[in-house]
Chain A
Amino acid sequence: MLLRVIKALSSVLIITYTFLPTAFASSTIKIAIVGPITGPVAQYGKMQMDGAVMAVEQINLKGGVNGKKLEAVLLDDVCEPKQAVAVANKVVSNGISFVVGHLCSGSTQPASDIYEEEGVLMITPASTNPDITQRDFELVFRTIGLDTQQGSVAGKYIVDNVKPKKVAVIHDKQQYGQGIAQAVKKYLESNNVNVVLFEGVSKGSNDFSALISKIKGLGVDFIYYGGYHPELGLILRQAKEKGLKSQFMGPEGVGNKDISAIAGKASEGLLVTLPADFTTDPANANLVAAFKNKKQDSSGPFVMPSYSAVQVIADTIAKTKSEDPFEIAKAMRSSNYNTPIGKVAFKQNGDLKEFKFVVYTWHADGTKTEATIK
């Protein structure tokens, strides 16, 4: 008897919990902002959250969308694929239809499978791995460029300006880092640059002495690293200590002030490909000031793409007067938007039609200047 009561009660509970969130969902339009709030790359998550939250606030100040307010729901995936799947399921079970995220390509890929299947529209403002949009998905978009674009920008700069004799390409064995490293290697090899070493290091490890000794032994004069700043920072520092004088280069994942904190003087002269600096665009002056008022830095590579992702969703909801992810996705493919990252239009597969990367020279104090082009 007792058992039956418990069973009945628990099933009632389960049903209430499943329907509760959806019952309230109609009063606001929820947008889940998913990225690393904690973990080793939380700085990038902060850029994403700052940008997206700013967009939500500004849109709400103007009265929201179709008379409804937007609501940002911040969720943490720590940039771990396992956690990303758990968070994606949470988004689905809470009845949220729009996601701005995830950040790391390794997280975005498994999460996007779930969103596509469950009918949630996703725009990643940061994941640059080409595979993400190569699967004929209907609901997956991005407001950032691709590794292949970034890889060829980096490769072109190396071939035209650095002209190295022997190159080592190192990566962190993760989807993002390895993807971009492969793109660079392919570009270099097709331009007859001698790539003598292509090797992975373990994410989160801190001893790179053996690798550096090996690079020295091979007489490499240029090193490309695909990955994030915690590992490259250590590599730079240990390389300098061991007297390795080769030039280093990395993607936007390493372009963070922390790399100078970790590597100190060794970060001087590092080459980095980054999205063009949107904060210098005069059209963004008001927005940059708004970030400044909140004591936030708008110059991070993912701030403006995140802002734009939220804006694209809001604009399309306003235009179509619909909150159905499939209708929104359809409208997004045929629309043009004016956003802080410039004119935005999407290809059929969800990629941007245009996105510009620039090569910068990094300095030991954490600043950057546009790299000289010979």
Chain B
Amino acid sequence: MQFLEQVLNGITLGSIYALIAIGYTMVYGVIGMINFAHGEVYMVGAFVGLIVMTILSSLGATLIPVYLIAMFLAAILVTSVLGWSIERIAYRPLRGKHRLIPLISAIGMSFFLQNFMQLSQGPRPFAVKQLITGSFVFSDTFSISYMQLLIPATTLVFMIVFTYFISKTKLGIACRATEQDRRMANLLGINTDSIISVIFVVGAALAAVAGVLVSLYYGTVRDTMGFVIGIKAFTAAVLGGIGSIPGAVLGGFVLGFSESFASAYIGGDYKDVVSFGLLMLILLVLPSGLLGKAEIQKV
């Protein structure tokens, strides 16, 4: 029975990693750069969700769906603007420079956002009210909380919307074209600069969804929450093959499962050792990740 619960824990954790990992992998796919400020975008999304929740509860709202919709919408809106601005301020002026330069700029952006939140909101964890309580209890050792169901369900909804966007809409097709060959896409009349902006916005929106979900699930929000999860999601993106969107999702779930099972059957102290050991092992056998394409250099 513990096994079933650990499977569920893995799915929950994996959903979160997957949502964030998509942002990393898309940006890398298009401009070949790791957006280290992505974890901070997630953190900002969580804070916006908390602020909206506080406002709503002071207005006396009681309907849970109202809360959820308002929190998701506000978080997505704010982080979309944030994602767009980050790209405009920190990365676009550096396009075409050596690839290490935007990397440093990204790290700087990450510090800026974290310290901004620390100074404006205070350097301590903030408690988030429990919105959704209760669980299905099957036995003493097996129960599923509603929140644990909500996370994969919400992730699934946003994944479907996202997949539709990337595979069916004109904008999505332009995104993929830009990813495959930026210069060629440009020649064919696609404004690649605005497509890159779109990619930052979409990535930020998904991270905001993850931020709101996590704040509801774990019940705290703090300025430093983006760092560790950013590293983990980045790991998931690399594990799945950086640049590949299905790979990022798969990588997220592999990491989520390995953490849950390592914690359950090997010991919590070794959770990170096992999951990162697994990462190294997979990359030794498959250097371009689970679903990544090997880059062929033609000379």
Contact = CB atoms under 8 A, between A and B. Distances in A.
B295 interface: no
B127 interface: yes
B123 A39 contact: yes
Contact of B124 (A213, A241, A258): A258
A199 B125 CA distance: 24
A182 interface: no
Interface residues of A, number: 34
A209 B220 contact: no
A264 to B, nearest CB: 6
Given A209-B9, A210-B260, A234 B219 contact: yes
Nearest to B13: A207
B5 A40 contact: no
A272 B123 CA distance: 25
A151 to B, nearest CB: 20
Contacts of A207: 9, 13, 218, 259
A258 B261 CA distance: 31
A216 B5 contact: yes
Contact of B263 (A38, A211, A243, A263): A211
A173 to B, nearest CB: 7
Interface in B98-146: 118, 123-125, 127, 129-130, 133, 135, 137, 140-141, 143, 145
B263 A214 contact: yes
Nearest to B140: A216
Contacts of B133: 241
Contact of A243 (B143, B222, B228, B271): B143
A213 B261 CA distance: 11
B277 interface: no
Nearest to B134: A241
A242 B271 contact: no
A238 B218 contact: yes
A217 B1 contact: yes
A202 B130 contact: no
B85 interface: no
A206 B13 CA distance: 11
Interface string A173-209: 1000000000000000000000000011110111101
Residue among B12, B133, B220, B222 with the most chain A CB within 10 A? B220
Nearest to B261: A210
Interface string B263-285: 11001110110000000000000
A251 interface: no
Nearest to B125: A230
Nearest to A76: B123
Contacts of B2: 213-214, 216-217
A211 B135 contact: no
Contacts of A237: 130, 218-219
Contacts of A42: 123-124
A261 interface: yes
16 contacts: A38-B123, A39-B123, A40-B123, A40-B224, A42-B124, A210-B263, A211-B268, A213-B9, A213-B141, A214-B263, A216-B141, A217-B1, A241-B135, A242-B143, A258-B125, A262-B125
